Chain A
Amino acid sequence: MSAAKPVLTARGVEAGYHGRKVLQQVSLEVARGELLAIVGPNGAGKSTLLKVLSGALRTWAGAVELEGRALKNMDRRDVARRLATLGQESGSAFAFTVMEMVLMGRAPHLGAMRLEGRRDVDIAQQALRSFDLLPLAARPINEISGGERRRVLLARVLAQEPQVALLDEPTAFLDLKHAAEIFARLEDLRAERGMAVVATLHDLNAAALYADRILLLKDGAAVACGRPQDVLTRDNLQTVYETEVYVGRNPVTGAVAILPAAR
């Protein structure tokens, strides 16, 4: 991906919590329209890396750049117009409707005292439609299922119209159909708008199937980064996950397919 100029870059990033370092010298680049998957075992620093990329967590060393500008020097709203995050949030203490929740994605695009206008409502509705949520638009967000709430948050990311979407486990709580639909929607958006996606995924097969490139993390450091077939090798996976795996091919898609092989 060296041909296109990267939209998001991290160079030699180190970060952590309460004096405990989690990330060690991690670097990455994401180009327009690309899907970069971050994979690795529990506690490898996947979510921490996303928080550094979103600016929610300060770097101890190294730098993050969004469209060539240092993230930490940018205005928050300026960043939020270009970069949207799907985190592990669980809702609100108050009964906002699904539609209101998605409209909140328009906040960085509006002045402080402005109500959402017709265009914002159109955008939010389009986002709801993308994730089959229109029938739920009037429901309070704390009265829908976990999987539905996950899709609502994804719709909000869409309504934010970002250049880069940072998705922490986008398919958590989702069934097979909805998970596949989400990757299909993301693919559309990447093609139509050139939106780049950085997603943490615990599902290696989804990463192999949908990602352009994969960053493999272990103990907060990058073990490998590149095309799925080059990163998801038996050697790499057995080193990182410390268990036996079988690496083959998905006969339908041709993508790398991984199965646990420990008895």
Chain B
Amino acid sequence: MSQAPASGSIPDSTALETGASEPGARRPYLTRTRMAAVLGALTLVLIVVCAAAVMFGSVPVDFTRAIADRTSPDHAILFAARMPRVLMGAVVGAILAAVGAALQALVRNPLAEGGTLGISSGAAFGAILAIVLTYRFGGGSAIVPAAGFAAALISTLAVYRLGQMHGRVEPFTLLLVGVIFNTFWSALILLINSLVNLYQTRSILFWLVGSLEAPTYGEVAAVSALGAAGFVWLGWHARDMNLLSLGDEPAHDLGVDVDGARRAIFIATSLMIGGAVSVSGMIGFVGLIVPHILRLAFGADHRLLLPASFLGGAAFLVAADLAARVAIAPAEIPVGVITALCGGPFFIYLLRREGHRGIAV
């Protein structure tokens, strides 16, 4: 009653901060300034990382010759191998991280992502099944990503249904169901693996670990379109994600069409994961690490977290892939190995931390 005049001037940059009264202190809510600064900085990071990833690799490239001589091996390495790979890394990383952020809001659990919820492995199973069947019976190349998406959607819905008790989402139950689905799908993939020939076995390993090897510009364009469409769709529901993270009833009471928003997020995330997995296999933990770090740094509001994850995920995966290419050059480590090596310990750290705080629902 006494602190300030009823309205008009906003004394919040000083009055609202506990103990911190220096000018320019961060306001305790999302402002346009913070959004612009964070997204601008992340865009810059992404550009720098991409430039580095094009410049460095398992073999050195002479850039002047690559540009001057279109028949030189330097040209081929730069434009046919590195560029599409870097672009694909950016697109897949963006998708995985944005989907992770969206799924975490949906199931109210910071440990959720495409991998831990078994959606990625579902998509991989669908894609592998499609590859084996089209190899035997023929069919168009669009069948593989379509099968990946369908299997991702089925997997999402099944995990979500089974993770509910009496119509309420139980975050830990849901996560465990996801982990079990992950194992189950992987077992099915290995079952197919033991039934098919050696040539296909190699490509199945690629799916299980996740790699950005040798994509074409056509694939990059297709996944970019899918990723962009899914991202816009998710972005439309960014504030709904804030409200859904409070629980179904509070979200409903604050004006969210809970069923509609949930359906939209399911379909968009399945579409995105299906697309990403069908070109790069199961690259794990990107959707876990990136949103968590960004949330710690810039706050939990999904209107910033979602686009920030999109940019940050792209930069993260391109950097991880660069490490995968140069670490034991001229040989390569699949990028999924790098992300899993980072992500495993990170997951344990998150689990301990969240377990200690108690995930509230």
Contacts and interface: CB of A to CB of B under 8 A. Distances in A.
Given A80-B254, A90-B361, A95-B295, A121 B10 contact: yes
A112 B238 CA distance: 8
A198 interface: no
A121 B31 CA distance: 10
A61 B44 CA distance: 59
B10 A118 contact: yes
A76 B10 contact: no
A104 interface: yes
A194 to B, nearest CB: 19
A41 B161 CA distance: 34
B201 interface: no
Interface residues of B, number: 53
B295 A93 contact: no
B361 A138 contact: no
A135 B20 CA distance: 11
A59 to B, nearest CB: 15
Interface class of chain B by DSSP: loop
B18 interface: yes
Interface residues of A, number: 51
Contact of A115 (B250, B253, B303): B303
Contacts of A92: 108, 245-246, 300, 360
A115 B31 contact: yes
Contacts of B357: 142
A126 interface: yes
Nearest to A149: B360
A91 B253 contact: no
Given A104-B242, A112-B236, A138-B16, A98 B253 contact: no
Interface stretch (B1-9, B63-71, B332-340): B1-9
A228 B31 CA distance: 47
Contacts of B219: none
A108 B16 contact: no
A93 B359 contact: yes
Q: Which 5 pairs across A and B sit closest by C-beta, in order of nearness?
A: A80-B255, A108-B255, A138-B28, A94-B300, A77-B255
Interface of A: 18, 51, 54-56, 76-81, 84-85, 87, 89-100, 103-105, 107-108, 110, 112-113, 115-116, 118, 121-122, 124-126, 129, 134-139, 142, 160
